Amino acid sequence: MSTMQISFKLNGEDVAVEIAANTLLVDLLREELGLTGTKTGCREGECGACTVLVDGEPFNSCLLPAMKADGRQVTTIEGLGDDEGAVESIQQAFMDMGAAQCGFCTPGMILTAKSLLDKNPAPEEAEIRQALTGVLCRCTGYRKIVQAVQAVAQHNGGEVTS
């Protein structure tokens, strides 16, 4: 198997790794770099549990060859908040609203919501629901997840319409 060297920014830190050409980003993150906050579910691009941000956009890391991360910025759930325990507003909102049960979908949900909020600080409910369609939750019925994103949107000046 041929290998290659890639370098990218991972959660703000420079990373350089040697990978097999067929390595998937999710496996690089979890197996080689130890960032197990990124989950694996279907490994077919259906469930969104493996969602990470690449240059601020959500991607299914189970479908993304790790070589595609070369030169780019990758954010996993471990990259949110800081080392002192501070969390981002969307993480706090998930806690406040009880928007996680088993938590399996939560990293993908939070990163997808973060990407939306970074682009659109006060999205409407329909925009939130549309943005989150790529991440499946088996537990919460989505209501509390949407409410958590709405809470941040409201804090950012948006109106909650339902």
Under the rule (CB under 6 A), what is the footprint of ligand FES?
40-43, 45-50, 60, 62, 100-106, 137-140
Nearer to ligand FES, 48 or 79 (CB): 48
Number of other CB atoms surrounding residue 26 within 10 Å: 25
In the complex, what is the shortest distance from the CB of residue 104 to ligand FES, in angstroms, rounded to a whole number?
A: 4
CB 134 within 8 A of CB 115: no
Q: Which of 24, 33, 32 is nearest to 60 (CA)?
A: 24
In the complex, what is the shortest distance from the CB of residue 43 to ligand FES, in angstroms, rounded to a whole number?
A: 5
Nearer to ligand FES, 8 or 104 (CB): 104
Nearer to ligand FES, 60 or 112 (CB): 60
Nearer to ligand FES, 33 or 122 (CB): 33
In the complex, what is the shortest distance from the CB of residue 27 to ligand FES, in angstroms, rounded to a whole number?
A: 11
Q: What sign does the dihedral 117-123-125-128 (CA atoms) show?
A: negative
Number of other CB atoms surrounding residue 141 within 10 Å: 10
Q: How far apart are the first and last CA of the chain?
A: 54
In the complex, what is the shortest distance from the CB of residue 83 to ligand FES, in angstroms, rounded to a whole number?
A: 26
Residue 33 makes CB contacts below 8 A (sequence gap 6+) with 10, 15, 17
In the complex, what is the shortest distance from the CB of residue 159 to ligand FES, in angstroms, rounded to a whole number?
A: 27
**Cα–Cα distance between 133 and 127 in angstroms, integer?**
10
Nearer to ligand FES, 46 or 55 (CB): 46
